[in-house]
Amino acid sequence: MKDKIIVLNFGGQYDQLIVRRVRENGVYAELHDCDVDIEKLNLDGLKGIILTGGPQSVYDENSLKANDKIFDLNVPILGICYGMQYINKVYGGEIEHMQKGEYGKTPLFVDTNSKLFKDVPQESIVWMNHRDGVTKSAQGFKKIAWTLNCPVAAFENEQKNIYAVQFHPEVVHSEYGSQIITNFLKEICDVNMDWKMENVAEDMINEIKEKYDGEKMICALSGGVDSSVAANLVHKAIGDNLKCIFVNHGLLRKNEVEEVLAKYKEIGLNVKLVDASKEFLDLLKGVTDPEEKRKIIGNHFIKVFEREAKEIGGAKYLVQGTIYPDVIESGKDKASVIKSHHNVGGLPETMDFEGVVEPLRDLFKDEVRQLGLSIGMPEEMIWRQPFPGPGLGIRVVGDITEEKLKIVRETDYILREEFKNYGIDRDIWQYFTVFTPIRTVGVKGDERTYDYMVVIRAIISVDAMTVEAAELPYELLQKLSSRMINEVEGVGRVVYDITSKPPGTIEFE
């Protein structure tokens, strides 16, 4: 049984970051809403609880509350920002709206005798972001840090094993923040710090082997990192009882089918290629609305997959590459869906399986990558840039034809080739070309041309939520433009898109 830390989220902006920081210490952590029914969670191996910050005041009428059974579980608790104020309120202390807020880097003075501040100097810089603060600590709680404006910047109740800080140790601007988190885990929770990807992979494989021995499973591969790693793990556990399907919807990049299949062969996966490109392109004929295109592709994908699964027959389980951010996101209010993302994951609602196997559902993307590398998957597969489910279908603006797909495929290929030659293919988070139905006048030789405009998109991001256009060298842009216009028939103009996200999105449709 693995040790774990539960992080309860009070709506702060650093909730996932706290989980990351704990995991970086080799300790498994999971995130839940602050008011989750704690007794319904799997508490095996629970070694500590962290309460995050949040935007409210604890005295607000509808302020967020935890399920207070957490205080009876007999495990150490660390409160951060709102989490600290919440603990103080629960135990009868006082919190006030301070005259002056503290935002940003702030000098902190600590009582170095506290276990929480082991190896932290008496004075250091921390990141503050608050207006409310503890003015009177609850009974039994001892002040262990302060700043010039915040009389109680941290407190502890050693007997109850509760610790709290007003500042944000999870943020890199807190000089000794990571030491403080390590201290909480090591000195206070006494947790095993052996949650490493190699061990995780081994445990997962053994668990799947034990649980599903002799069962047949099926997996829709997309060529992407998540589904490939999930399938590879399951394959290591149940061997050829796993059957994989790779659907060519006719909207893939140049050479993609061959390249992806060769990689799957290299790692020994049993993959059936289904060429459904004609069906998809027929359904998409004349359709111009982006959402309608997405829906047609998503729905038909399910149909093709169902048909093929039936043909293979006998599979009781569906393997999916769902990862932790998908799990967290699906628990959130979906009111503002901007585009209906079609993932190869998220399929099974209408399908007749006994269960879904999602080995990666506790992992963040970079952890999935580490895990993939640790089980010997090829680098190109692990570092492949994201490619959306609807493929080139959302990179051809307006209706889709073979001619337009060819333009986007060929220009995209040149872009990938040149980024590789220039040595920047790993530094740019995502890059591709987009076909636009805008035609412009030009001259080639002595002839007038009236050809299409292609857009280059190259972006830098961490998580695709916020994005900046990459600052590409001018000589590279010139080379791209000249190669695309000279080598690809139908291209008359090339432009570089410098829109950030927000307000733009990464894809055009």
Please report how close the Cβ of residue 249 comes to ligand XMP at its closest, in angstroms.
12
3-state helix vs strand vs coil in the chain, percent to 5: 35, 25, 40
Pick the catalytic residue: 168, 235, 249, 300?
168
CB of 86 to ligand XMP, least distance (A): 34
187 counts as binding ligand XMP under rule CB under 6 A: no
Stretch that binds ligand XMP, among 3-11, 248-256, 325-333, 384-392 (CB under 6 A): 384-392
Residue 11 — φ and ψ, nearest 5°? 90, 15
Under the binding rule (CB under 6 A), the answer on residue 501 touching ligand XMP is yes
Q: Is 136 in the site for ligand XMP (CB under 6 A)?
A: no
Cα–Cα dist 140/135, whole Å = 15
174 binds ligand XMP (CB under 6 A): no
Q: Which of 32, 34, 130, 170 is catalytic?
A: 170
Are the C-beta atoms of 239 and 209 separated by less than 8 Å?
no
430 binds ligand XMP (CB under 6 A): yes
Only segment of 21-29, 323-331, 339-347, 449-457 that touches ligand XMP (CB under 6 A): 339-347
Residue written as tokens 């986007």?
408
SS3 sequence of 316-379 = CEEECCCCHHHHHHHCCCCCCCCCCCCCCCCCHHHCCCCEEECCCCCCCHHHHHHHHHHCCCCH
Q: Is 311 exposed, middle or buried (0-12, 13-18, 19+ CB in 10 A)?
A: exposed
What contacts 327, CB < 8 A, 6 or more positions away? 361
Handedness of CA 340, 342, 346, 351 (dihedral sign): positive
**Residue placing its CB nearer to ligand XMP in the complex, 184 or 432:** 432
Q: How far is the CB of 345 from ligand XMP (least distance, A)?
A: 8
Of residues 176 and 431, the one with the C-beta less far from ligand XMP: 431
CB atoms within 10 A of CB 103: 11
Least distance CB 498 / ligand XMP (angstroms): 15
Q: How far apart are CA 271 and CA 83, in angstroms?
A: 49
Q: What is the smallest separation between the CB atom of 242 and ligand XMP, expressed in angstroms? A: 22
Preceding peptide of 502 cis, ω within 30°: yes
User: Does residue 386 have a cis bond before it (omega within 30 degrees)?
Assistant: no
Candidates 23-31, 250-258, 361-369, 386-394 — which segment interacts with ligand XMP by CB under 6 A? 386-394
Which one, 323 or 480, has the nearer CB to ligand XMP? Answer: 323
- Is residue 342 flagged as an active site residue? no
Question: Which of residues 33, 202, 306, 507 is near ligand XMP by CB under 6 A?
Answer: 507
Q: Does 506 bind ligand XMP (CB under 6 A)?
A: yes
Task: Give the active site residue among 81, 150, 189, 244.
Answer: 81
Site for ligand XMP in 388-427 (CB under 6 A): 388-390
Sheet strands (E) in 147-186: 154-157, 162-165
Q: How far is 385 from 400, CA to CA, in rounded Å?
A: 23
299 versus 440: smaller Cβ distance to ligand XMP: 299
**Binder among 125, 257, 464, 476 for ligand XMP (CB under 6 A):** 464
Query: 124 is written with which tokens?
Result: 């250091």
Least distance (Å) from ligand XMP to the CB of residue 471?
Answer: 19
Buried b / exposed e over 130-151, threshold 16 CB at 10 Å, is bebbbeebbeebeebbbbeebe
In this complex, which beta carbon is closest to ligand XMP, that of residue 225 or of residue 276? Answer: 225
Three-state secondary structure of 179-209:
HHHHHHHHHHCCCCCCCCHHHHHHHHHHHHH
CB of 296 to ligand XMP, least distance (A): 12
170 noted as active-site residue: yes
Give the sheet arrangement for strand 317-319, strand by strand: 271-275, 242-248, 217-221, 317-319, 355-357
Q: Which is nearer to ligand XMP, 140 or 504 (CB)?
A: 504
Nearest to ligand XMP of 27, 459 (CB atom): 459
Counting residues that bind ligand XMP (by CB under 6 A) gives 14
Considering only 339, 365, 439, 479, the residue that binds ligand XMP (CB under 6 A) is: 339
Listed ranges 62-70, 276-284, 340-348, 395-403: which one lies at the site for ligand XMP (CB under 6 A): 340-348
Residue 394 CB, nearest distance to ligand XMP (Å)? 6
Closest CB to ligand XMP belongs to which residue?
388
**CA-wise closest residue to 330 among 319, 320, 316:** 320
Given 129, 179, 343, 433, the residue binding ligand XMP (CB under 6 A): 343
Q: Which residue in 200, 170, 193, 178 sits closest to 369, CA to CA?
A: 200
Closest approach, Cβ 155 to ligand XMP, in A, equals 42
Q: Check if 207 is active-site.
A: no
Catalytically active residues, by annotation: 81, 168, 170
Instruction: List contacts with ligand XMP (CB under 6 A).
Output: 339, 341-343, 386, 388-390, 430, 464, 501, 505-507
